[in-house]
Structure 1
């Protein structure tokens, strides 16, 4: 198995050492652990394609994207457990018709075998979507993931109207990648999400990556619609600050939005350590109460833990 580490280093030992530091950070806040709403566990063939994309993304971004936790699924589970992540997600996402149902089957089997996994689902604008989303909800799915950029679809597609209605009625959170970063798509950006929320104003949406790079616009949406949350995935890290820096004049607003900000990491597909992602939040200096809410309490509320 390939690792992005230099020869002579022992990644398993490095991860064990890192685990001590991660646990120390949340223990200092008197938390029982971390809740990470944005992690990925995918079928092997799907994850292999995702990793291949990141391996080749340097010409597009202008910098390499080494995957820090590129290892077996068992090892990745062990790493999150050693970090004290008490609840995490699989967050598969469909990018073509006929894909969502079998991804949901995989996520169901995964959650059956992994007690810490909040059962996750996905959907795509297709005639069968209302049926398999209803089935997923009946099975106890606690969070859905859709990727507007990769999926290449309009979140306001009429085929999804019954799906949004079900998710709104059940108050089931949806982690949605709808910002235009790291690269824009045909249907990304805040305008389409605003139109969706005007039609379904009680949706529990978790805007992935805080909507980067349209941070200010998505913050404004969260102020207008009480069900809109923002996950911290990759934001404030050195990697993203080089590409899409968060505007410093809006950092103080994050304190006011304390109950709407939720820890997300994108584990394992991140080009830095989990510790760095946590420190990027700690270094905002927004206080222990804010950190406790973001690192644990808000996720616990949304995922009904």
Structure 2
């Protein structure tokens, strides 16, 4: 049982008590060092999209972060780099794919951006074994419906590879965020395996509707239900039955945003536990549903 101490040391006993072999976390970030320093500075000091920022719990060297994931019992995790401007996605993919090759338990991951040549480097990433993609529509500042991405969405739908998409308006909205733009992509590519980051907060309802409507759409738990998020964007009680049903149907997966979180990894798990949705739900979310995705 996880306690109010939120100690990471308690995590392995928690998943063992559930009868699990460990955890699968589909929302973890590792980045090239220079980019990582910039991201950490942004999260720590805040900015136009971050407000005052927050203290990052795991501001550690990469080797220590990988070691902590192993100590926690995370058996599979991606690096999830994402392109924020043109002409960097292919290089990021080279880095994340290499990081996965030299890091046991790391899933080969990739990203893309609407730019010339994007279809080619996405196809190459798939050929090199990419098993999960990440796009951040807000940070990237692009509309998922643009024609340049249509062939890429089709490739990923055909390959059945999940795409973790930050599509919600946290912390600042725009005309291409929210459920409608990515929903339009899904209407064109209904077999696309999309994982909606952060349960789609704060637009929980329309993103839950997408997950219910499309067979391959799921939601990840990243930062959801934690004290930090509940104080700002509380999860609505009216969606608890849907959260239970979607989780048991394979459509809710564990995500954490490790390492750039303002609390311990254990706290994210305790936040899920205190929902009191049952051990079958926890087993599905923390392990079984992840195996479906990857």
TM-score bracket for the superposition, by shorter chain length: over 0.9
CA deviation after TM superposition for structure 1 residue 64, in Å: 4.5
The whole-number CA distance in structure 1 between the counterparts of 2:31 and 2:191 is 29
| Aligned counterpart for 1:103 among listed residues 75, 92, 106 | 92
Match of 1:273 among 260, 264, 280: 264
Q: How does 1:220-239 map to 2 (within 5 A)?
A: 220-239=209-228
1:197-224, Cα deviation, whole Å (9 max, x unpaired): 1111110000000111001110011111
Quote the residue 1:195 is aligned against. 184
CA contact (8 A) 1:154 1:187 kept: yes
Q: Establish whether residue 88 from structure 1 lines up as the match of residue 77 from structure 2.
A: yes
Aligned to 2:22: 33
Kindly report the root-mean-square deviation, in angstroms, between the aligned alpha carbons of the 2 structures: 1.4
Question: Matched residue of 2:181: which SS?
Answer: helix
Correspondence for 2:3:
none
Cα distance, 1:164–1:64 mapped onto 2, change above 3 Å:
closer
Cα shift readout 1:22-67 (whole Å, capped 9, x = no counterpart): 1111111010000000000100111111111111227866664110
Quote the residue 1:147 is aligned against: 136
Aligned to 1:212: 201
Structure 2 residues not aligned, in runs of 5+: 1-5
Aligned partner of residue 111 in structure 1, secondary structure: helix
**TM-score between the two structures when normalised by the length of structure 2:** 0.95
C-alpha displacement of 1:182: 2.4
User: How many Å apart are 1:85 and its aligned residue?
Assistant: 0.3
Aligned partner of 2:46 in structure 1 is: 57
CA–CA distance in 2 between the matches of 1:228 and 1:217?
13
Unaligned runs of 5+ residues in structure 1 are 1-16
Aligned length, in residue pairs: 287
- Equivalent positions of 1:3-14 (< 5 A) are none
Kindly indicate whether the alpha-carbon contact (under 8 Å) linking 2:8 and 2:265 is maintained by their aligned counterparts in 1: no
Q: Which residue of 2 aligns with 1:294?
A: 285
Contact 1:149 1:186 in 2 (8 A): no
Aligned partners of 1:64 and 1:145: how far apart in 2? Answer: 23
TM-score by length of 1: 0.91
Could you tell me which residue of structure 2 aligns to residue 7 of structure 1?
none
